[in-house]
Structure 1
Amino acid sequence: MALTFGKCLLRDIRIQAGYTQDQLSEALLEVCGLNVSTTLLSFYETNKRPIPSLTMRGICIILGCNEKDIYEWPI
């Protein structure tokens, strides 16, 4: 069996932290120098694209979470 993406929990974590996609996009640029559009954030949140490791780290810095919190992996 091939390894597949786990369920992305980014949307829930973002909302719980009180950020809109626009606010997260702006914070990633201002704090981390990462240019991540709201469209790309939407793709991440809906599992249409995997989150690159550098972007994942920036998201975790902004949202105050750990990288392991972003995906729920099937057992």
Structure 2
Amino acid sequence: MALLQGKCLLRDLRESVGFTQADLSTQLMDLYGVSISTSHLSRIERGERPMTTLQKRAVCLVLNCTERDLYEWILT
């Protein structure tokens, strides 16, 4: 069996706290010095770009979630 990363759930998490992509981008920079542009966030949310470990951690801190919450996980 293998555990695979599935669909990115960032958009759902972000919208559940009422943030736009610009809000999240600003919070990441202001609170943790992590720069993710709105266009990069869009690509992440569409599953076109991965997040680095640092970006994942900062996003989780801003959105009050765990890294496990960021993606659907598939056991094959």
Structure 1 stretches of 4+ with a deviation exceeding 2 A read 2-5
Contact 2:10 2:70 in 1 (8 A): yes
Task: Render the CA deviation track for 1:4-54: whole Å, top value 9, x for unaligned.
Answer: 641100000000011100000000000000111000001110000111110
Q: Which TM-score applies when normalising by structure 1?
A: 0.91
Q: Alpha carbon RMSD of aligned pairs, Å? A: 1.5
Alignment of 1:1-12 (within 5 A): 5-12=5-12
What are the ranges of 5 or more consecutive residues in structure 1 without an aligned counterpart? none
Name 1:50's counterpart in structure 2: 50
Q: Which runs of 5+ in 2 are unaligned?
A: none
Corresponding residue of 1:19: 19
The aligned amino acid for 2:66 is: N
Amino acid at match of 1:57: R
Q: Which has the higher strand share?
A: 2
Q: Which residue of 1 aligns with 2:30?
A: 30
Which whole-Å CA distance do the structure 1 matches of 2:69 and 2:4 have between them?
17
- Which residues of 2 match residues 56-75 of structure 1 at below 5 A? 56-75=56-75
